[in-house]
Structure 1
Amino acid sequence: MKHKVKITVLDTKLYPEYQQQYCVNPCSGKCPVYNKGDEFMFYRDDVRDDFWHCGLDTLVKTDGNPDEVAGGPKKPFCSEAWDAISRYIYAGLQGGSIMKGWMRDENTMITCCNDGTRPVIFKIERIDYE
């Protein structure tokens, strides 16, 4: 059995009151490198090893410009997002449970990046295939 991991951006949030209070640029806005609905597919097999390339060129669907979306052909995943979700991607690519006992489906995880003023919400799914 082989495993791949699908990432979907469920939402991009914005907390302008925190940006106003704490950021150098108080009008930074939402995350500029992910869009709601973006989808990424990670493989780790004899042909591809997307994990060790921090998600570079894993983008499979976007309404934005693929060259400007993290995970597209020119940008790896944002370091804050990668830090927050890479452990789940790795576990899924190895066939492990992503969040047993917490999520209804142990092969699915809902999580977000570490940016407290404009977090991106991700759905991570382990997909088993032959």
Structure 2
Amino acid sequence: MKHKVRVTVLDTKLYPEIQQEYCADPASGVCPCYNPGDEFEFYRDGERDDFWHMGLNTLTKTSHDPETIAGGPKLPFCSEAWDAIARYIYTGLQGGSIMKGWMKEENTMITCCSDGTRPVIFKIERIDYE
């Protein structure tokens, strides 16, 4: 059995009142790296090792310019997002349970990056295949 991991951007949030109070650029807006609906697929086998390249070129679906998306052909994942999701991706690529007992399905996790003024919400799924 082989395993791949699909990461989907479910939503991007924005807290402008917090940005205005604390950010150097009080109008920095939503995350510029990801868009709702962006999808990525990670493989770790004899041919590819997307994990160790921080998701560079794992983008499989977007409605925006792929060259501007972190995880597209030019940019690895944003470091804040990567720090939040890498453990789940690695576990899934090894065939492990991503979040047994917390999510309805043990192969799925909903999580977000740690940017407190404009978090991105991700769905991470381990997909088993032959």
Q: Same fold (TM over 0.5)?
A: yes
Which residue of structure 2 lines up, in the alignment, with residue 26 of structure 1? 26
Task: Report the AA paired with residue 81 of structure 2.
Answer: A
Matched with 1:87 is 87
1:129 partnered with 2:125: no
Query: Alpha-carbon deviations, 1:50-109, whole Å to 9, x = none?
Result: 000000000000011100000000000000000000000000000000000000000000
* Residue 2 (structure 1) aligned with residue 2 (structure 2): yes
Alignment of 1:1-130 (within 5 A): 1-130=1-130
Q: Give the Å deviation of 1:125.
A: 0.1
> How far did 1:121 drift?
0.2
Q: Separation in 1 of the partners of 2:79 and 2:38? A: 17
TM-score (norm 2): 1.00
Name the SS of the counterpart of 2:67 in structure 1.
coil
Unaligned runs of 5+ residues in structure 1 are: none
Per-residue CA distance 1:1-37 (angstroms, 9 max, x = gap): 0000000000000000110010000000000010000
Q: In the alignment, residue 81 of structure 1 is paired with which amino acid?
A: A
Mind listing any 5+ residue stretches in structure 2 that lack a counterpart? none
